[in-house]
Amino acid sequence: MAKRPMCLLCFLMVLSLGALELMGIPLIRGNPLPLNVQEQIEAHPGSIICGEVEQYENTEFSQSVYLKKTYLIHQSKKFPIENVRIFLKKEEDLKPGMRILVKGTLKRVEGPANPGGFDSQHFYACRHIYYFMKNAVLQKKTAVYSGYRQLLLEIKESCRQILKEAAGKDAPVFCAMTLGDKQELDPETQMRYQLAGIIHILAISGLHISILGMGLYNLLKKMGLGIWPAGIFSLGVMLQYGIMTGGSVSTMRAVTMFLIAMGARITGRIYDMMSALSVTAMMILVESPAYLLDSGFLLSFGCVLGICVASERICALAGAKRKGTKVFCESVALWLVTLPVMLKFFGEASLAGLVLNLAVLPSVGVVLAGGVAAMILGFVSIPTGRVMIFPARVLLFLYERLCELAGRSRWCTWIGGEPEIWQITIYYAILVAVLLIGQYIKESDQTKISRKQHILRISGIVLLILSILTLGKQSFRYSFKNQTLQITCLDVGQGDGILIRTPDNKHYLIDGGSSSQSELGRYCLLPALKSMGISCLDGIFISHTDKDHLSGVQELLEYMEKGLTTIRAGYLILPAWAE
């Protein structure tokens, strides 16, 4: 780290944030708002707030608006409460930059109610949102708004409409890949891509930014522009593109690193990826320390670490010399670095992705280029846009077939369950030791493999296997000691759902339905099973067929039938019905 001071500084920053968290200062978790403000909100949940419209979207039942620079008004006093998401009772004509006054009920953003459930509280804390306002009613709004942000919003909406006309049924996928808009993306499509381990191509990431940004830069250079004009223009376009697509953490990371890379190229300086990664991480964490425990942040930066730190050492450990084997070893390196994160947040890790990414990634540029070309040409001629996007649609068709094929195999994913912190610590300690072995082999004489190198390679591979086993709940925690009966009553709203683990490690689900929560199978049952490391239910008991006892089980069985999950069930036990 002496040669990379930014890396050392980033490491010290992360340690400092961890120390502050242990001291009880809620920068990473919890509510950092002053205690008197929290008490004021709790005492007066029905409140009036004022804030600036950042973005908005229309949902099925209400209009969702994100406010920034918000403050609570009570008895002529103002209490700053950072950002707030409000749900308006009726749709209003709003524009970004407007300041609005709304009245409604403030409610603390809740954490996950079930094992493996989505942590809304931490997700919104990363965006400085700690409260929702339900049943909000607009009181006043200003006529002044941000013309620039409104223009970006209108451009994005125009691009969305062009893709709908040019791409047909594939438009939601192209909107996700090029605009960062997943509102209309079919849930089954998302599940297939996640199961196959290629869900990352549906999000704006470093791959997308590098393809589009460097593609634009090289195009401008070929058109005769110099390094400075081409570089500055590319920088400006990609910065606006990052803002327009929503500014997710993976987008912020990718755009910032692209800006640093392009700045180095323009000024004739050397670009060091690890230093750029460290600077980017510090910029994001200074703005919002809660990102340190965000899955998107950890996966995005973990992938770059896999490329920078792990890939060459894993290749050396495996003795990979040919291009094909090197590419596969690089894919394995990325998987190894991000494995604990995947298990911690999702309870499973895709095995099929190790192979499918080798087939998909080389052609993703064609899909992106087709989508962007269709959007640009669509402003002039929609038929021309349809022609330009056709090869990309053919590739998407092939991606979906590959995902379906992978989903039919029960070995598509490994459901290891959510590991504990001590398991993750042991895993990374072993992984670091293996990478050091790989570094030693890399620096040794490669022309002649000595017996010592051979022993080190075998030892490294064995250590990798052992490190992976330490993460699995089923293989490590429950198989080596006797267990008592474990009963988990799931929070399903109005309904019933009980998971049982017997002392002999059998798993049963008793009912699983809700009349107050939709998509219970996707958002409750599947995450709970995965986080507990349950890949097979020995039996599902149905007490009776009311919706609040059955709806989630129906979804679960449909997912099994369609190959959208690798979880399987042994028996379905039903009452003795007359029909």
Look at residues 78, 85, 99 and name the one whose alpha carbon lies nearest to residue 34. Answer: 78
Helix segments in 120-199, DSSP class H: 120-125, 147-167, 171-179, 187-196
Neighbouring-strand partners of residue 349: 414
Look at residue 88 and give its three-state secondary structure.
strand
Look at residue 58 and give its three-state secondary structure.
strand
Look at residue 381 and give its three-state secondary structure.
coil
Residue 68's H or E segment, with its range, is strand 63-74
Residue 269 DSSP label: P
Neighbouring-strand partners of residue 137: 103
Look at residue 135 and give its three-state secondary structure.
strand
H/E/C letters for each residue in 453-511? Answer: HHHHHHHHHHHHHHHHHHHCHHHHHCCCCCCCCEEEECCCCCEEEEEEECCCCCEEEEE
Look at residues 432, 528, 414 and name the one whose alpha carbon lies nearest to residue 471. Answer: 414
State phi, psi for 543 to the nearest 5 degrees.
-75, -45
For residues 155-179, one letter each, b for 16 or more C-beta atoms within 10 angstroms of the residue's C-beta and e for the rest, the string is ebeebbebbbebbeebbbbbbbbbb
Q: Is residue 103 a contact partner of residue 139, using CB atoms and an 8 Å limit?
A: yes
Q: Residue 509 is encoded by which pair of tokens?
A: 């689900």
Instruction: Estimate to the nearest angstrom the gap between the alpha carbon of 36 and the chain centroid.
Output: 34
Going by their DSSP bridges, the two strands 63-74 and 46-58 should be labelled as antiparallel
Spatial separation of the C-alpha atoms in residues 181 and 160, rounded to whole Å: 9
State phi, psi for 26 to the nearest 5 degrees.
-80, 70
Going by their DSSP bridges, the two strands 83-88 and 129-141 should be labelled as parallel
pLDDT, one tens digit for every residue, the chain (579 residues): 557 888 999 999 999 988 888 888 888 888 888 888 888 888 888 889 999 999 888 776 778 999 999 999 888 788 899 899 999 988 888 999 999 999 999 999 998 999 999 999 999 999 999 999 988 999 999 999 898 889 988 899 899 999 999 998 999 999 988 888 888 888 899 999 999 999 888 888 777 788 888 888 888 888 888 888 888 888 888 888 888 887 788 888 888 888 898 888 888 888 888 999 999 999 999 999 999 999 999 999 998 898 888 888 888 888 888 888 888 888 899 999 999 999 999 999 999 998 898 888 888 888 988 988 998 898 888 999 999 999 999 999 999 999 999 888 888 999 989 998 888 999 999 999 999 988 888 877 555 667 777 788 888 888 888 888 888 755 455 444 557 899 999 999 899 999 999 988 899 999 999 988 888 999 999 999 999 999 999 999 999 888 889 999 999 999 999 999 999 999 999 888 766
Neighbouring-strand partners of residue 208: none
Instruction: Estimate to the nearest angstrom the gap between the alpha carbon of 20 and the chain centroid.
Output: 26
pTM of the model: 0.91
Spatial separation of the C-alpha atoms in residues 250 and 205, rounded to whole Å: 5
Residue 411 DSSP label: T
